[in-house]
Copies of this chain bind each other. A is one copy, B any other.
Amino acid sequence: MNNPKSSYHHGDLRSTLLQAATDLIREGGVEALSMRKLADRVGVSRTAPYHHFTDKHALLSALAEEGFRRFEQRLQAEVGDCAPAERLDQFVRCYMDFALASPETYNLMFGSGVWQAGAPTPTLKAEAHGSFRRYVERVEQWQAEGVLPAEVDPLRFAQISWSTLHGLARLMIDGIYVDAHHLEALLDTAVGLFRQAL
């Protein structure tokens, strides 16, 4: 009982699995994560994880959920207390920083693997939609503060600007078209575009 590793019942397998999965992914990408290696590393039998996650898919979804929560925490910490005029800028920086600092987590959160075929876990779906809803509210606030042009439907604006950030993150993570050297210039261009102030 004192040594959970030696007891037949692990006691805290679920969270241990999530932690080990995060490690494995950090070490070698999502492709390096297999249910068998995961079980092996935790010191448990091949099929033990299936008593805590119905699927590999479910495990990945759980990791994605964690990602959304960390993301929202960072946003709240770094964008919350900040002069209104700088909040948009700060948001953009924070978004990109998160995506580029933990690309694997970002892949999990927004990768087709978890969303394809409308297969996301209900809880993941809720987490993601909450995240986007809060972004729309931010946009509305920015419009009210005069940081963003007020003539546009805030929802459409939120969708397009999020698309820009998401697309940029994807292109950078995947190493297509854009080079990390120009990140600052790119973000300036993006923010200029959003504010209609090129």
Residues of A whose CB lies within 8 Å of any CB of B are: 29, 107, 110-112, 115-118, 128-129, 132, 149, 151-153, 156-157, 159-160, 162-171, 173-178, 182, 185-186, 189-190, 192-194, 196, 198
Q: Is the CB of A168 within 8 A of B176?
A: no
Looking at the complex, which one of B107, B128, B132, B151 makes contact with A198 (CB distance below 8 Å)?
B151
Say whether chain A's binding surface is mostly helix, strand, loop, or mixed. helix
Return the chain B residue nearest A29 by Cβ: B116
Q: Is the CB of A171 within 8 A of B166?
A: yes
Please give, as numbers and ranges, the residues of chain B lying within 8 Å of A118 by CB-CB distance: 175
Q: Shortest Cβ distance from A163 into chain B, in angstroms?
A: 4
Q: Is the CB of A167 within 8 A of B177?
A: no
A159-B177, A163-B164, A177-B162 as given contacts; A152 in contact with B198, CB under 8 Å: yes
Q: Is the CB of B170 within 8 A of A170?
A: yes
A156-B189, A160-B164, A165-B167 as given contacts; A110 in contact with B194, CB under 8 Å: no
Q: Shortest Cβ distance from A160 into chain B, in angstroms?
A: 5
